[in-house]
Amino acid sequence: MKIGLIGYGKMGKAIEKIAIDRGHLISFKTNDFNLNLIKDVDVTIEFSTPESAFTNIKNCLDSNVPVVSGTTGWLDGFDDIKRLCDKKNGSFLYASNFSLGANLFFELNKKLAHLMSDKKEYKTSIDETHHIHKVDKPSGTAITLAKDIISDSRYRDWELDSYSNDKININSYREKEVNGVHNVTYSSENDIISIKHEALNRNGFALGAVISAEWLVNKKGCFSISDMLNMG
């Protein structure tokens, strides 16, 4: 399979290594994407920046090239991309986190949220820590966790550094080269319940992205990693 890499930072390099190890060809790798690059690819994997992600994905869909994206911080434009994908009968898969462990953590978070939904004595908060190079706050993973809790709770929204009773407080920290740590905490006057996911390296994210690209080729539609993992 011929793969194009849009975004060639640390994640892009990790994806490249795993893709080659799995027998794929890297057709191009770039931080400066243009349409001439995607003339001879089977699928693109997009890990760029919040500012460029929307245009990168749109260009792939306009060119009828399947695209897997893990860039966070651009989701204000997600509905527009979904409509474009439907209009073009395209192939698009997005995940805020491609790690298998993190996606199991998402499912655990949903189950715990359901158990805690009527426990009004507990206040819910999310802490996320990443490396100092991560631009967006909070992380896409933290937002996904918060939205999944909100869908089965009294909370109406999430907010960064908020302590209002009807919003989930998300605390974001940027420290050294931390790959990603997420804690979901339920606190009362009497005790604390907490679940945690910690990424030890980038390999889990990279492997998930490559497997998602393998899965997406020859499919049509707008998908999530839950579709690929059959967790939906």
Q: What is the total residue count of the chain?
A: 232
* Rounded distance between C-alpha atoms, residue 194 and residue 176, angstroms: 24
More confident residue, 232 or 3: 3
The values of phi and psi at residue 202, to 5°, are: -90, -5
**Which fold would CATH assign to domain 2-98+203-229?**
Rossmann fold (3.40.50)
Instruction: Tell me the residue type at 179.
Output: N
Whole-number CA gyration radius for the chain: 18
Secondary structure (3-state) at 165: coil
Report pLDDT for 230.
81
- Provide the residue ranges of all domains of the chain, joining segments of one domain with +: 2-98+203-229, 100-198
- Name the band, by pLDDT with cuts 50, 70 and 90, for residue 35: confident
Q: Is the pLDDT of residue 49 over 70?
A: yes
- Mean pLDDT over residues 182-194, rounded? 98
* Rounded distance between C-alpha atoms, residue 45 and residue 212, angstroms: 9
Tens digits of residue pLDDT in 63-93: 999 999 999 889 999 999 999 999 999 999 9
Residues 42, 47, 51, 55, Cα dihedral to 10°: 10
In the predicted model, what is the mean pLDDT of the chain? 94
**Is 196 marked active-site?**
no
Q: Is the pLDDT of residue 232 over 60?
A: no
Topology match between the domains 2-98+203-229 and 100-198: no
**10-19, 96-105, 165-174: least confident range:** 96-105
* Strand duo 181-187 + 123-130: pairing: antiparallel
For domain 100-198, the question of CATH label 3.30.70.980 is answered with no
Q: Active-site residue among 2, 88, 110, 134?
A: 134
* Rounded distance between C-alpha atoms, residue 135 and residue 19, angstroms: 26
Between the CA of residue 102 and those of 106, 140, 208, what are the distances in Å?
6, 12, 10
> SS3 string of 25-70?
EEEEEECCCCHHHHCCCCEEEECCCCCCHHHHHHHHHHCCCCEEEC
Tell me the pTM: 0.80
**Is 134 marked active-site?**
yes
Q: Active-site residue among 24, 130, 182, 197?
A: 130
Report pLDDT for 231.
61
